[in-house]
Amino acid sequence: MCPGVVGGDPAAYPPAGTLRPARRRLADRRAMDSPHSARDTRGVLAPQSAPAARRRWLLPLLLAVVAVLGGWWFGARAQGDDRELPVYVAGGERMAAGAEVYRRQAGAGYDADKKPFTYPPFAALPFVPFAQLQKGWQAPLWFVVNFAVVALLIRWLHRHAVRDGSGLGPPRPLVFWLLVGVVGGRHVASVFTNQSHDLIVAGLLGLCAAAWMRQRAIAGAFAGLAAAFKATPLLLLGLFGLRLRVLAVALLLAAAALATLAPDWLCPRGDGKAWAVAWYELTLRGLDAGAAKAEGAWSSHNILNQGLGGTLTRLFQPLDATSTFTVGEPGTALVAVLPPTVFRVVLHGGQLAVLALLALAARRGARAVAVAADPAAMQRSVGLGEVGAFACGMLLLSPMSSKSHFCVWLLPVAFLAERLLRGRRCVAALALFVLAAVVALLAKDLLGKRLGNLVLAYGNATWATLLLLLASVAALGAEAKPAGGAR
């Protein structure tokens, strides 16, 4: 019998003098105690079975088949004139030539685009080499890129959902993914339908959240790159600032600035003007950000605009007769006509309320870490909720939030599902999450096109996002209570 071991067959242990260090032995014992490991009757790990070995190569084969079939489907969808990919490719092609990218309105030597490029200049830069590909390869490759981002997000969120930790209940991955898929997954499908770049932004936010959960300042750099694609991730300055992470703030600003200036270094404009200046002058100048009015690009009365400003405008302002960029039956969601001054108070009051909720989420996250017995473990729990809450804020405060933008719901929904299944139970968070799920599912798939469009005009995605934000704040508040406090 081996020294220090009580019971057991001596033949099952290494010879004397070959025992491994204590840390390695502890890891082996945890592996043997895991319900996921195969072991024989003596508790020793058994060789991997043939079915398990086959599953290792079946998964890559399945992913390859999905990539091929999805690429073919993407190519077929790209033939339509309402996809986003051709907009990006045209932007990259024009940027490479130094020609005007922002054609919301006609200018010297060019006509206005039917679907103009309106994003920051860095968003066009990745499509400069992309535009050099044969047209038949562009859509399939874009599918593979988006599919890879989704696969990596799923892998990361799954590891988060089944991780070990003190105070956590048993993993329930099946229920977790049912909730995440039903509530948050439908908008991921919208990205593939529209061929937009929103999953790239979601992936960068995922990297930001993963780094933030480990208290790494590099989270700011990922947030800065996301802001260079789409300006609204600049809101994360509030999170890092309120948590007093000076280096994260500096990295966010530096990454956003360098990425925004990169097109000027790599693909300068023919007229010598900075790309960022052109973006401001031709896209942002004169934009009523609160009401999202910009002829040729945005209209608040477009039912697809589910930002807070768009929804409030449809509810309380009559349709502007001069607007031509409107989708859906106009005027169907008008509840009451508010005088312009009153409407401004309601609109900006709502936006300030969202900012206040984001500040509360950051402070509750900080409080949860401060009172925790294991601050690092608590940060791994609440970090995803903080970034998820700010993702909700991005959607609500954006001048134009269409359905594919809501793919970032993956973050707050995953946080809430994991907390409600394994963490402290919070009745308020549970009720708000259930209500958000019900409101989010009131869509054309369930209600039919006519009723679904009417519900969309009233802003069901807007209100579902607000409910997810409130649920996240409530769940973070539950974590901020000392152990043994009320739940």
Q: Give the pLDDT band (50/70/90) at residue 34.
A: very low
The tokens describing 43, both together, are 């508790």
Query: Average pLDDT for residues 342-353, to the nearest whole number?
Result: 94
Q: Give the pLDDT band (50/70/90) at residue 298.
A: low
pLDDT at 405 over 70: yes
If you write DSSP's letter for every residue of 221-255 in order, what string do you get?
HHHHHHHHHSSGGGGHHHHHHHTT-HHHHHHHHHH
Which residue, 256, 255, 277, 258, is CA-closest to 266? Answer: 258
Instruction: Show Cβ contacts of residue 165 under 8 Å, excluding neighbours closer than 6 positions.
Output: 377, 380, 381
pLDDT value at position 35? 45
Q: Which residue has the tokens 């067959």?
A: 9
**401: number of CA atoms within 13 Å, CB side?**
31
Q: Give the pLDDT band (50/70/90) at residue 191.
A: confident
Q: Which residues pair with 39 in a beta bridge?
A: 45
pTM here?
0.82
What rounded mean pLDDT belongs to the chain?
81
Query: Average pLDDT for residues 399-408, to the nearest whole number?
Result: 87
pLDDT at 43 over 80: no
pLDDT at 353 over 90: yes
pLDDT at 76 over 70: no
| Amino acid present at 157 | L
Q: Please write down the HEC assignment for all residues of 413-470.
A: HHHHHHHHHHCCCCHHHHHHHHHHHHHHCCCHHHHCHHHHHHHHHCCHHHHHHHHHHH
pLDDT digits (tens, 9 = 90+) for 434-478: 999 999 988 777 777 788 888 888 899 999 999 999 999 999 998
